[in-house]
Amino acid sequence: MQVNARLDYALRAVIEVARSETVVRKKELSERQDIPERFLEQILAQLVRSGILLGTRGPQGGYGMARPPERVAVADVVRAIDGPLAAVRGLPPEDAEYPESAAVLRDLWVALRASIRSVLEETTIADLAQGRLPEDLHDLLDAPDAWRRRGRDADER
């Protein structure tokens, strides 16, 4: 899974709003999280349209949570910004069709989506705003190779 700047910024903005006792102005979010204000404006609009944030206009305006942070999963933010958690050539994984010799790929993509869901749907914005992760994720982080890079950009020698 590749996390683009737009998604990273969206999560940082939502965490900042969730931590605040009052509405947060766009300029404050931009400064606190070092996010370009014009880029942030588009992201905030998507988050409002998706029902994650509420936008209030006027001199006392800003952004607040549309629902309690405990009821907003990280997956909700991902879907609001980037769409489905997993797609194969623009299709849901279960709709991917392959010749018989590669048919097992559909099952692989569905399993991958289920794995991503288990992390992103279990973790709430409240968890992140409180600086913690669900206990189940600690097992993943404690795995021997969790912090070791692999592949093309790895430092394997």
CA distance 41 to 43: 5
- Single pTM value for the model: 0.89
Mean pLDDT of 133-154: 86
Q: Tokens 């629902």 label which residue?
A: 67
* In the chain, where the domains are located: 5-142
Angle between helix 104-120 and helix 74-82 axes, rounded to 10 deg: 120
Residue type, 11: L
* Residue percentage of the chain with pLDDT more than 70: 97
pLDDT mean across residues, the chain = 92
Q: In the numeric block, which tokens belong to residue 19? A: 């931590």
Averaged pLDDT for residues 82-108: 92
Name the architecture of domain 5-142. Orthogonal Bundle (1.10)
Contact predicate 10/43, CB 8 Å? yes
> Could you tell me the CA-to-CA distances from 87 to 35, 40, 110, 112, 120 in Å, in that order?
28, 26, 9, 10, 16
Contact 115, 141 (CB under 8 A): no
Contact 64, 16 (CB under 8 A): no
What pLDDT does residue 152 have?
Answer: 74
For residue range 27-66, what is the model confidence (pLDDT) as tens digits?
Answer: 999 999 999 999 999 999 999 999 999 999 888 789 999 9
**Full DSSP string of 87-131:** -BTTB-GGG----GGGTHHHHHHHHHHHHHHHHHTTSBHHHHHTT
Please report the pLDDT score of residue 153 as a whole number. 67
pLDDT band of residue 21 (cuts 50, 70, 90) is confident
